[in-house]
Amino acid sequence: MKAETRITEELRLIPRWSVIGGLIAFALVQYYFWVFLPSVRTRPPELPTALRFYLILSWGALAALYVLMIGYISNDAPRRGMDTRVWMICVIMPGGIGAVLYFLLRQPILSHCPSCGASIEDHFHFCPHCSWQVAASCGRCFTSTRVTDLYCSRCGHDLASDHPPARLHAFSRE
Ligand SMILES: [Zn+2]
Ligand SMILES: [Zn+2]
């Protein structure tokens, strides 16, 4: 899969409510610093305008990013079998620690066995519940193979010599 399409797919996981929430968070930060704070402050601001502009935009972007992260995790955690609520709360830990932890600790994406519906990780060759073969593999070293492969990419084994051929086995098993 191309990196570009992968990023687009990941971005699609960000729900609309969190995009709107992010925009609101950004607007609220701008309102607070540009409208509310000057109205209650008695002294004029100490920082030069350009620097204030930069800092306030950055704070706004950061607030928006947090809301987008929460939205992303609300869709990303379930497909990895992770506790969605706990991680949506963890991610707002200060300094982005929660987000770093999430990406360090997140589990592989789960899919479902076409035969019995059990959760299976993408590196599995067989369903651990019903032994349905979910991926073609080499008959000698059991590395995953693609259906178009004639020889194993790891050990060079002739896949057609497996009986029935491993690369077709995944699709012929009843
Ligand atoms: Zn199964
Ligand atoms: Zn092999």
Complete DSSP assignment for 123-151? T-SB-TTT--B-S-B-TTT--B--TT-SB
Note down the domain range covering 157: 109-174
pLDDT in tens, the chain (174 residues): 566 778 888 899 999 999 999 999 999 999 999 999 888 887 777 888 899 999 999 999 999 999 999 999 999 999 888 999 999 988 888 778 888 899 999 888 888 888 888 888 878 888 899 888 888 888 889 888 887 888 999 999 988 887 666 655 555 554
Q: Are residues 70 and 94 in the same domain?
A: yes
Ligand 1 center to residue 119 CA distance, Å?
A: 8
Nearest CA to 25 out of 68, 82, 74, 79 is that of 68
Q: Are residues 44 and 82 in the same domain?
A: yes
Angle, in degrees to the nearest 10, between helices 49-76 and 16-31: 160
Q: Are residues 95 and 49 in the same domain?
A: yes
Ligand 1 center to residue 169 CA distance, Å?
A: 16
Ligand 1 center to residue 117 CA distance, Å?
A: 6
Ligand 2 center to residue 166 CA distance, Å?
A: 10
The dihedral of CA 75, 78, 82, 85: what is its sign?
positive
What is the amino acid identity at position 126? F
Listed residues 86, 107, 128: the one ending a domain: 107
Two tokens at 32? 């607070």
pTM check: above 0.85: no
Q: Are residues 113 and 34 in the same domain?
A: no
Ligand 2 center to residue 98 CA distance, Å?
A: 40
Half-sphere exposure at residue 13, Cβ-oriented, CA atoms within 13 angstroms: 17
Q: Are residues 79 and 13 in the same domain?
A: yes
Q: Are residues 42 and 79 in the same domain?
A: yes
Q: Are residues 132 and 49 in the same domain?
A: no
Two tokens at 93? 């830990």
